[in-house]
Amino acid sequence: MLEVRGLRVTFGTLRAVRDVSVEVAAGACVVVLGGTGAGKSTLLRALTGRAGQAARISARVARIDGARVGVIDAAFAADSVGGPGRGGWAARRAAEVLRVLGERPDSVVGDEVLAGLGVLARREVVRALAERKAAGAALLLTAQRIGELAEVADRVLVLHEGEVVERGEARDVLASPVHPVTRALLGRDDDAAFGKGGGGGVMLEARGLRKEIAGRVALREASVKVRGAGVVGVAGEPGAGKTLLARVLDGTVPADAGTVVLDGKPVEGRAAWKAARRAVRVVPQDPAERLAAHRTVGRVLEAATRGPLPGGRRDTAVALLDAVGLPEELLDRAVGGLPGGTLRLVAVAEALATGPRVLVWDAPFAGLDARGRARLVGLIAGLRDERGVGHLVLAHPDEVPAGLCDSVAVLEAGKIVSPNSDSSGGWSVHSRPDGVRA
């Protein structure tokens, strides 16, 4: 078995883990849920003697039984949250996890064992975990989102700022989470009273988009519609074509075939695409390189607000920051020093400068913890309800906020597939009755 009682870990004045106790019996699995900075990794590293020389550790009891202990560290590479190379990283990560489990350890201490992996790899890892559990191993795993780990979890423990805020049998916690942090981690806040959009005519439509890159068909007959101020979710694994679809929709990359339609009119010719780029704005997954060219947040928004303005340029920039929940003080901050979540919100403020009809989100939740994810979901809902902005959310399958979306489809090998097709072969979004989940 695996047991720790009264564990405390400090780094100077920072109390990273505060009086945490957890026990895992042989043949059982405990999943520790928590957002970024909750203390999950520190807990596991302290338990396995890898917290570092700066850590001050104390515990009443700390032991791991068994001759063989399998340790799976988070060990995220720089490209683990997406972008070029993510597919290669995911394959290496899956291979490493399966190698550790293949050595048949008596106890497994695993940090974020499924994060960043594709559907098939996650299923393979979960099967390997279930096999070790059935063989009598004790499993202590961490995650930001429970996902497929619910299949092997017997108990769930929720950490927030180093403290346990909720614990219990997995079936009870997952069915009826009590603490707000637990509800956010389980995505239940997505089910809150976000008024559904989706009414009205078609704002943005892609008809049969096709694009070849280096002789490979990267988009194939991709069709999608955003109706009114709707929220469309498109789930796709790494390499499915999400980023390419976004770039074709805003005209950054020309399609080899197919048509982009805005407000019922095909976008054709330079003038039409110039207007379309103001009406359809892409919020990139990693805007750092593009925004860094302007040095400060103020410069970013000044560049975005060129042209006649109803008020002063600074007033307009402040209003844009306010629309995404950021303070005026940020205007003089250097872009390069901002955290990833804040930088993404600055990119949204920049996109709003042109008064867009539709925002296309490229992997918006990648790398965000539960609070950041909940904040972004609320922002999307607010822009939809208050400004009438439509949204196309292109995300990893376990990051699509189904409770917010009017409908969700899947992008596979460059083609959008869904059971909800219209006569043109495209996928359209329709309003749903209250309480009906996609």
Cα–Cα distance, 348 to 379 (Å, whole number): 10
Residue 210: φ, ψ to 5°: -135, 135
Burial of 282 (0-12, 13-18, 19+ CB in 10 A): buried
pLDDT class of 89 with cuts at 50, 70, 90:
low
Residue, of 297 and 202, whose pLDDT is higher: 297
Average pLDDT (308-325) is: 72
> Could you tell me the strand order of the sheet in which 163-169 lies?
69-72, 107-111, 138-143, 29-33, 155-160, 163-169
pLDDT for 196 equals 42
Least Cα distance to 364 among 404, 407, 321 occurs for 404
Which single residue is written with the structure tokens 């867009």?
Answer: 356
Q: What is the mean pLDDT of the chain?
A: 81
* Each residue's pLDDT tens digit, 221-241: 888 888 877 889 998 888 889
Burial of 39 (0-12, 13-18, 19+ CB in 10 A): buried
Average pLDDT (107-111) is: 93
- Element holding 89 (H helix, E strand): helix 86-102
DSSP per-residue letters across 92-129: HHHHHHHHHHHT--SEEEEESSSTT--HHHHHHHHHHH
pLDDT class of 193 with cuts at 50, 70, 90:
very low
Average pLDDT (389-409) is: 85
Cα–Cα distance, 68 to 2 (Å, whole number): 12
Q: Which two tokens stand for residue 115?
A: 């994060």
